Amino acid sequence: MTSHTTSDSTADTTSSGAPDSAPTSNGTGNDTGDDTGDDISNDTGCAADGHGVTGGSTTGERATSGHLRTASTPTGARTRARTHPRPERHILPWLIAALAALALITAGAAGTLAGLLVGPLHREFGWSRSMIGAGSLVSLVMYGASAPFAAALMDRFGMRRVVSGALGLAGTGAALTATMAAPWQFALYWGLLVGLGSGAAALAFAAAVAERWFVRRRGLVTGILTAAGVVGQFVFLPVLAGVIGAYGWRAAVLAVAVAAFGTGALVLLFLRDHPADVGQRPYGATEFVPRRAPEPGAARRAVRVLGGAVRSGPFWLLAGSFAVCGASTNGVMWNHFAPAAHDHGMPVTLAASLLSLVGIFNVAGTVASGWLSDRLDVRRLLASYYALRGLSLFALPLLLSATARPQLLAFMVVFGLLDVATVPPTIALCRERFGADATVVFGWVGAAHQLGAGLLALLGGAARDVFGSYDPMWVATGALCAAAAILALAVPRPRA
């Protein structure tokens, strides 16, 4: 039997919590890791459960929760193991991402159902479009306003508690909406409760999951999770429209309530807040990443981070461009495309199906955008999205008709590819410019997104009342997208 000893230097390394020469992550999320480095052979006695090392004179070195243990090893092998540790590659981060995607799908469905309720509520209660639009405006603003505080609360209390609670709040609001009989109740139940709940379980949550659980593939994961929210927002629109047509609007809002409660329960049971909670490293990390100590006063932190961010030019450039993003998507497309198409004689169900086509290509565009954000200049990438989106909106008034002509189908495909593709590069720029506060800053940038969406949702309806057509709204929004492209290019690069 070969005896095993631990050197004094190794003992010192163990007590310090990390090897002296262990490399550190660059935190960028780019695919900078070496997949083919000098990895330790599986025959070295490495074990995943943290127990003792066995074997002869082969390497027994491995890291467990940030500690390094070694057996008698040739000097060269030990040096290679210390300088080229194996990046963590396990399945748990992807399972966490899958559960997060389910939560984002549910939140997305809750966030966009209001557009399908306009007609049924008008027919049943006689409410004006302005009254219903006021409730939608409250929902959009609350959706955005909740994001920075949700991000700070996730740092303080954990993603599991915050997101499950948010979905429970959205489910409660949706269930109460089925009982409403006055416009103020729609603004309270759907606008406030569903808006807050769905917003707290949306993009800030996606950014937090990617930040905590991934080092490699971070941009790709951000794109996938953003696409999941899009699936809820668009792909399920025809399903919910069918439910409304067959069973009434109350059945649709109750279906959203059941989905929110069920998904919230799954999140509470199975979501894990940080790899350190289960003794693992983030995907692609070469060393253990300790959990950041929670800061008391989550609301104060959100306000403090905002106070620092507003004194920097990059924040205003990102917030301004992302406000245009919200105006041109949530504001005009999600709220006014269906009624605009109906003005040209198109059935509402066909318009909803076209929006679902946008959602399908949103998924492809957003995932591709996340992949590209890991590899290209995110400023130019973001500017190109806004410029092309603006051109497509300029063309839309010429394409609307009673049927889905090929030109209109092409527009829906292009708009879908560009729609939510802005999110991964915007998050990447927040990380680049604001570091540890990036998630909270992105929450505030997201609030600007929803503010722009709410304003255009309201102004779009007003433009229809004044001009008798939605055409001026499409042209004006296209011009805003051109301005957003300029803002994206103006975001300065960090000093070397």
Is the separation of the CB atoms in 393 and 481 below 8 Å?
yes
* 202-219 burial code (b ≥16 CB/10 A, e <16): bbbbbbbbbbbbbbbbbb
- CATH H superfamily, domain 92-490: MFS general substrate transporter like domains (1.20.1250.20)
Triad 126, 128, 133: Cα angle to 5°: 130
Is the separation of the CB atoms in 420 and 362 below 8 Å?
yes
Determine what percent of the chain is predicted with pLDDT higher than 90.
37
Give me the pLDDT at residue 177, please: 95
Task: Map out the domains of the chain as residue ranges.
Answer: 8-73, 92-490
Is the separation of the CB atoms in 200 and 191 below 8 Å?
no
The answer, yes or no, to whether residue 118 has pLDDT greater than 50, is yes
* H/E segment holding residue 110: helix 92-112
* The pTM of the whole model exceeds 0.75: no
Mean pLDDT value across residues 95-100: 92
Give me the pLDDT at residue 293, please: 65
The answer, yes or no, to whether residue 79 has pLDDT greater than 70, is no
The answer, yes or no, to whether residue 490 has pLDDT greater than 80, is yes
* Cα 402 to Cα 238: distance, rounded to the nearest angstrom: 18
Greatest mean pLDDT among 224-228, 264-268, 283-287, 401-405: 264-268
* Cα 360 to Cα 415: distance, rounded to the nearest angstrom: 11
113 compared with 384, residue with greater pLDDT: 384
Mean pLDDT value across residues 309-330: 94
Tokens 């979501």: give the residue.
271
Is 74 in a helix, a strand, or coil?
coil
For the chain, what's the residue count?
Answer: 496
123 CB-side CA count, 13 A: 7
* Cα 114 to Cα 230: distance, rounded to the nearest angstrom: 15
Is the separation of the CB atoms in 85 and 286 below 8 Å?
yes
Give me the pLDDT at residue 82, please: 45
| Structure token digits, residue 332 | 């005009």
Determine what percent of the chain is predicted with pLDDT higher than 70.
80
362 compared with 75, residue with greater pLDDT: 362
* H/E segment holding residue 69: strand 67-69
Is 300 in a helix, a strand, or coil?
helix
- Per the DSSP assignment, residues forming a β-bridge with 120 are none
Give me the pLDDT at residue 336, please: 87
